[in-house]
Chains A and B, each alone.
Chain A
C-alpha cells in the first residue's frame, strides 16, 4: 500500500495499471493516491508511547459513510485553478477551435 502511494507521488505516467488493478490488494482509493489519509503516522507501534492500551479500531462514530454513488463530490476550491488563464490555455488543443499548431 505504501509503495503504491509513493509510486503515485513519483509519477502517474508510467504505471502498470494491470498489475495495480489485478495483482494487488490495495484499495482503489489507495491506488489513486487519495483518501485513507486519516492514518496518523504517530499512531504507529511507537515505543515512547506511554499508553498501554490502544484503541483497536477507530469507532466509525459520526463519520459520514461512503455512499455507493457514481458522482464524485466536487470541491469548489479544487476548481479555483481554472481562474488562471494559463490553465485554461493548457487544454485549448482539446477543442476544435484551438489551434493544433503546437
Chain B
C-alpha cells in the first residue's frame, strides 16, 4: 500500500466538501489554504462556515481552526458521533449541499444519525431532496446501508426564502459490503417527480438496478413543457453516458468501494466527471488506494464505459456502540 501523509494538505476552495469528508473518515487532519486568497472577497463563504459547524456537531471532538482572514482552515477530526442534530442551512445553498457530505459519513457513526435540515430543498447547484431520496439512498443501499435509511421531506422550500425541512435518518454499519456491479442492464422504466414551482426530477432504472437521473429546475416565466423537455433530454444524455451507476454518484460509490472489506470491488462507470477525477486523486492521498481502470468492452469501439476496481481498505466502524 502506498505511503500516505499524516496531514492532508490542499489549496483552494474547490472540492472542499469531499476533502473534509476524507479527513474525518481517515482520521487525518486536513489543512486547506489559499481559500479565495486572490478574490475581491477572500476567504470562506457563509455556507462553508455553516458546513464546518454542521460537521462539528455531527462529530465529537473535532477541532476546527480558521485563520483570521478566513483563507486557511485546519480541521482535526474527532469521531463521527451521529445522534439527533438540527441544522439551519443558510439560504446561499440548498440542503443538498450539506446532505451530500453527511451521507458519506453517517453510516460510520457511533449512533444512528437523525439530521433535520432547514432551508432550500431544490436548486440548480446541488442534488435536490427528491434526487437524494430516490437516487442517492439506493446507491448507498448497494453497500448494505439500508435498514432505516430514509429521507423525509417534511416541507419544501425554494430560493430566496427557503422554509423547507427534511429529516435524514441513517443506520450505522460495522463495515460496508464489497461491490460487484458490472452489468448495466437495459432501461426498464422511467419515473418522475414533479413538484410545481420546484423541478421535474426523472429517474431511469435498468433491469439490473442501474440508475440514471436528471433534473430540470422550474424558472419563472418558463412554460412547464420546456422544463419537461429539458429534463427528458438531460436524462437521455445521462443514459447515453453509460455505466451502472448514476453519474452524480460516482464519488459516493467509489468512496464506499475504497472503504469496503479487504476484497476486490468492481463497478462499471461511464467516463469519470471532473469532480470524480479529483476525488480519486484525493482518495489516494487519504487512503493510499488507487483504482484499476480498464475499458468495459474492449471489443466495442463505440463503448466508453470503464470498469473501476480496487482492493478495499477494510474500513471498520470503530465508533459504533456495541449492542
Query: Which residues does A use to contact B, with CB under 8 Å?
Result: 12-14, 17-18, 20-22, 27-29, 31-32, 35, 57, 60-61, 65-74, 76, 78-79, 82, 88, 90-91, 93-96, 98
Contact = CB atoms under 8 A, between A and B. Distances in A.
A79 B230 contact: yes
A70 B295 contact: no
Contact of A60 (B38, B126, B187, B271): B38
Given A21-B277, A79-B230, A94-B186, A70 B248 contact: yes
Nearest to B184: A94
Contact of B187 (A13, A66, A79, A96): A96
Nearest to A61: B40
Contact of A66 (B14, B126, B295): B14
A88 to B, nearest CB: 7
B151 interface: no
Contacts of A66: 14
Interface in B255-314: 271-278, 280-281, 284, 290-293, 295, 301, 304, 306
A69 to B, nearest CB: 4
Contacts of B273: 28, 32, 72
Q: Which of A32, A74, A91 has the most CB of B within 10 A?
A: A74
A77 B88 CA distance: 37
A29 B38 CA distance: 21
B39 A21 contact: no
18 contacts: A18-B291, A20-B277, A21-B277, A22-B281, A29-B274, A35-B274, A65-B36, A69-B97, A70-B125, A70-B126, A71-B127, A78-B237, A82-B233, A90-B240, A91-B239, A94-B240, A96-B187, A96-B207
In the A-B complex, the 10 residue pairs with the smallest Cβ-Cβ separation, listed nearest first, are: A28-B274, A28-B277, A79-B233, A69-B125, A17-B293, A82-B233, A96-B186, A95-B187, A96-B188, A28-B278
B76 interface: no
A98 B206 CA distance: 13
B290 A79 contact: no
B272 A17 contact: yes
Contacts of B187: 94-96
A59 B276 CA distance: 28
B37 to A, nearest CB: 11
Contacts of B183: none
Contacts of B17: 68
